[in-house]
Amino acid sequence: MTKLCNADSQAPDEYFVFVDPKNFMARNNLAVGVFTSAAFLSCTMDMGFLEKYLRGTVRYLPFEPTSSDIMAVSPFMLSSIAGYKIEYDFEVLREKHFPLFPSRLSATYAFGSWEDCVLAKERHGWQLSEVRRFRLRDTPLNRVAKVDMEIISAARTTHSPVPDHVCSLYWAGQPGLINGRPPLWEYLIEGSLERIDEPLPKV
């Protein structure tokens, strides 16, 4: 069994993943029957990476901020960097305070119940027909964190930097209670998820 990184409890046995049919990597992984997170796969390829993973010193960020001479920002530039800036803010704080937690830039995203998938559909319009059921293979390298995805959803509605206390709330597995809305719990998973060919509830 895998213990949650940010709670004194066990991670679920089964998970539910929305598989984007337009993403070729997702389609390939589904055909193979296994979703393996990027860091977990890298651990099997390079001993040096494995050592960093165990120490919590892996750098996941593909780009770092740099100085810019421009004094104004175009709408295109703003829309181009907005999503990455959010991920950057959350990843920098994770590196500093939660280094042994799964990175959003590497993990597989999943829900722990069908009911949460239905809630995601109701709030965000996701298609339940894309959900597949998986089981996490038990290995000592597994890392699983339970987080409120609505904190990220709210961050995407603003172009302001994400405050550290909001990032900390997310990584600590606390509910964001954005605008009084109850949390929508999802799991960030470092490890291999194996497809379970069992029928899901009727949509």
Q: Which amino acid is at 64?
A: E
Counted domains in the chain: 1
Which residues does 115 contact at the CB level (< 8 Å), separation at least 6?
A: none
Report strand pairing: 131-136 vs 14-18.
antiparallel
Question: 146 pLDDT exceeds 90?
Answer: yes
Is 1 part of a structural domain of the chain?
no
Is 28 part of a structural domain of the chain?
yes
Is 112 part of a structural domain of the chain?
yes
Structure tokens at 162: 């994400």
Is 68 part of a structural domain of the chain?
no
Confidence of residue 203 (pLDDT cuts 50, 70, 90): low
Higher pLDDT, 201 or 41: 41
| Domain that includes residue 159, residue range | 17-58+76-195
Question: 42 pLDDT exceeds 80?
Answer: yes
DSSP state of 10: B
Contact in structure between 61 and 38 (CB atoms under 8 Å): no
pLDDT digits (tens, 9 = 90+) for 86-131: 999 999 999 999 999 999 999 999 999 999 999 999 999 999 999 9
Is 200 part of a structural domain of the chain?
no
Is 8 part of a structural domain of the chain?
no
The pLDDT of 28-42, averaged and rounded, is: 95
Confidence of residue 11 (pLDDT cuts 50, 70, 90): very high
The H-assigned helical ranges of 21-163 are 24-32, 38-43, 47-55, 75-97, 114-124, 149-155
Is 69 part of a structural domain of the chain?
no
Is 51 part of a structural domain of the chain?
yes
